[in-house]
Amino acid sequence: MKTKSITFEELGKSWWWNRAEIRRDGVRGIDWPAAEEGARNYELLRRSPRGKKFVKTYLQLVPDERAVIHRLWVNWAQSPYRPVTNPGQFKEIGWTPVVSEAQHRQWNLRLADKTLMDEFIREIRLLREIQEISAPHPNQGKKYRGVSWKLIEVLDRKQNGVGKLNSSERHTASVAQRRAEKYCVEYERALDQWHNNPNPAFNIGITDDFYGTDQD
């Protein structure tokens, strides 16, 4: 029985990163400018032969599963904040100190934005002074250009036989395939490290449906 071919429109519906709300606001609950490259790499590795066993899209992953991706590919040094998962981070220079594992703090949401922002900036300037860190130039890292998902989209077209690729697109597909295989190796290694690390602070709960049924 001949498999029904997929159209470009049908293929495009699987590209969740092109949804209007995500292009506008990013993924809810995630520092998207920092995490987008990691999400792209994860989606790309899923297109490799070994990566097909990872059946969940990035959007379907639970926070513990995303943590592996974020630790592997997210450059938190460029992010305004980061998740605290390791006691070694509590007093790390360059970040606000964590005074308890629960980090008890409440911001008064009934106050005006300017009052809250002024207090936040006051604390940040005080911490910079204590840690002897200079404020960066106001224009540094101001414009966010986003991450290109073209590698995945061209590779998807090649793997699904959608449209005819020109020479430039064929080259892009080849690059995408090599990167997908490379990222898959890195990701599997990171998963092993997470599973084998005896430190409870690094334990994660991989859900039963994280892998497909055809694991090798």
What stretches of 46-198 show up as alpha helix (H) in DSSP? 63-73, 113-131, 150-160, 167-196
User: Using an 8 Å Cβ cutoff, are 206 and 187 in contact?
Assistant: no
**pLDDT at residue 32, as a whole number:** 86
pTM of the prediction?
Answer: 0.67
CA distances from 153 to 69, 120, 149, 192 (A): 20, 41, 6, 29
What's the average model confidence in pLDDT over 33-45?
93
* 153-171: pLDDT as tens digits: 999 999 999 999 999 999 9
